[in-house]
Chains A and B, each alone.
Chain A
């Protein structure tokens, strides 16, 4: 996916058709599903465990795991979980053991497991620059609880991206430490949003807050974007220069401004950065492209 031209000075990354393929997020994953592979897919964002080509478990550092979710609010105690892993881990039957020994009901386990699976998969299948790897091997120790087809997980991941984008198109709050703006919030803050808001301290990220609450991280992203849309929360500015002050006006200004293809390179600190968005708006209104463009600008500014 990364097509960064390295040596020559100004050639821009090509980006004629930058869009999420509707078929699948990862060709490798589709292939593994087709060959009914068992093992673990390792991507930058975390791990996706497959059994017979279906997703049986997902884990990501960005979000609490099944154990954390169950233990956080007392659905299960830590000893119970440890016992189950010790007793049934090697047989890959931890889920079954939890239900059979009466520690948790089947319905509760399925609900929590599915929630955690789609949640972690969202982060595992997030944009990544590193290549994915797959290790064939044993199924996950949890054992089959409710396997999900790969295509379903991918479709849901794309849908979730669109959902977040619809709520508030700026993804800055997804990963950065969060700040309360202190602006009076016009819309009412819901109880779940209130729990998130209470934990925003300029240091914690959405992932930290999810862990503190024992809540799937995507749920926190949704609430944080809603709060951002309401003006209550913002991403703490990080040392990386933002997208606006692009030091290379040629990038933004080139296509629209001058019809003459003359190398009018040393365009002075004009209003180039301001002009860029409007000039480019029509062909590049696609959110993925704007995001990629901002990423590119930030990288080039380094």
Chain B
């Protein structure tokens, strides 16, 4: 049964992982962090990533077609991928059985990182984090 720290450490074992965090996208608070953050500042990174996550989670355009009434408790978006010249950012929404707005944020070096693998693993971690 992993807690936040175990989950983040597991994320850091992925090839190319530079840093990871668990963030609340309503407030922009980092609930846990590990490794490096862009610019060396986890708090700022969390607040900025939260803005992006919120837009993705809250806009109808990004919800699946069949979620017509958009009433599903779970976040309609599974994850977000951002790529730049030297790294990837992967934001994975964490479904919970209580009211929350939490996602996992993984920062990957582009040269060593495997985006497809990271996406699968992060999804599994998000599930285990809450369900045990």
In the complex, A254 has a CB within 8 A of chain B: no
Pairwise interchain contact B131-A111, C-beta atoms closer than 8 A: no
B24-51 interface mask toward A, CB cutoff 8 Å, 1 = contact, 0 = none?
1011110110000000000100010000
The binding surface of chain A is classed by DSSP as: helix
Pairwise interchain contact A69-B7, C-beta atoms closer than 8 A: no
A110 to B2, CA, bound (A): 10
Distance in angstroms from A14 CB to nearest chain B CB is 34
Pairwise interchain contact A219-B27, C-beta atoms closer than 8 A: yes
Among residues of B, the one whose C-beta sits closest to the C-beta of A210 is B99
Residues of chain B within 8 A of A112, CB atoms compared: 96, 98, 100
A215 to B31, CA, bound (A): 17
Residue among A70, A110, A214 with most chain B CB within 10 A: A110
Residues of chain A within 8 A of B4, CB atoms compared: 107, 110-111, 114, 146
Q: Do A106 and B71 form a contact, CB below 8 Å, given A215-B99, A222-B26, A222-B27?
A: no
Distance in angstroms from A166 CB to nearest chain B CB is 11
Complex partner residue of A73 from B3, B29, B98, CB under 8 angstroms: B98
How many chain A residues touch B (Cβ–Cβ < 8 Å)?
36
Among residues of A, the one whose C-beta sits closest to the C-beta of B67 is A191
A216 to B26, CA, bound (A): 10
A111 to B97, CA, bound (A): 11
In the complex, A181 has a CB within 8 A of chain B: no
A114 to B3, CA, bound (A): 12
Complex partner residue of B24 from A108, A115, A155, CB under 8 angstroms: A115
In the complex, B130 has a CB within 8 A of chain A: yes
Distance in angstroms from A118 CB to nearest chain B CB is 6
Distance in angstroms from A144 CB to nearest chain B CB is 12
Pairwise interchain contact B27-A218, C-beta atoms closer than 8 A: yes
Residues of chain A within 8 A of B58, CB atoms compared: 190-192
Q: Do A108 and B130 form a contact, CB below 8 Å, given A191-B71, A219-B26, A222-B26?
A: yes
B60-71 interface mask toward A, CB cutoff 8 Å, 1 = contact, 0 = none?
100000000011
Residues of chain A within 8 A of B47, CB atoms compared: 159
A222 to B50, CA, bound (A): 13
In the complex, B128 has a CB within 8 A of chain A: yes
Complex partner residue of A75 from B31, B71, B97, CB under 8 angstroms: B97
B68-84 interface mask toward A, CB cutoff 8 Å, 1 = contact, 0 = none?
00110100000000000
Residues of chain A within 8 A of B2, CB atoms compared: 106-107
In the complex, B102 has a CB within 8 A of chain A: yes
Q: Do A114 and B31 form a contact, CB below 8 Å, given A107-B129, A191-B71?
A: yes
A70 to B58, CA, bound (A): 23
In the complex, A28 has a CB within 8 A of chain B: no
B1-17 interface mask toward A, CB cutoff 8 Å, 1 = contact, 0 = none?
11110010000000000
Q: Do A156 and B29 form a contact, CB below 8 Å, given A105-B130, A188-B59?
A: yes
Pairwise interchain contact B28-A159, C-beta atoms closer than 8 A: yes
A163 to B48, CA, bound (A): 12
Pairwise interchain contact B128-A107, C-beta atoms closer than 8 A: yes
Distance in angstroms from A104 CB to nearest chain B CB is 8
**Chain B residues packing against A (C-beta within 8 Å):** 1-4, 7, 22, 24, 26-29, 31-32, 43, 47, 58-60, 70-71, 73, 94, 96-102, 128-132
- In the complex, 14 of the A-B residue pairs with CB atoms within 8 angstroms, ordered by the A residue number, are A72-B98, A73-B73, A75-B96, A105-B129, A106-B1, A107-B7, A108-B98, A111-B130, A118-B27, A156-B27, A159-B47, A163-B28, A188-B59, A213-B99
Closest 8 CB pairs of A and B: A105-B132, A107-B129, A190-B58, A75-B97, A106-B3, A75-B98, A215-B99, A219-B26
A69-B98, A110-B3, A215-B99 known; 20 new pairs, CB 8 Å cut-off, are: A75-B97, A107-B1, A107-B3, A107-B4, A107-B132, A108-B98, A108-B130, A110-B4, A111-B4, A111-B96, A111-B129, A111-B130, A112-B100, A118-B27, A159-B43, A163-B28, A188-B59, A192-B101, A214-B98, A216-B99
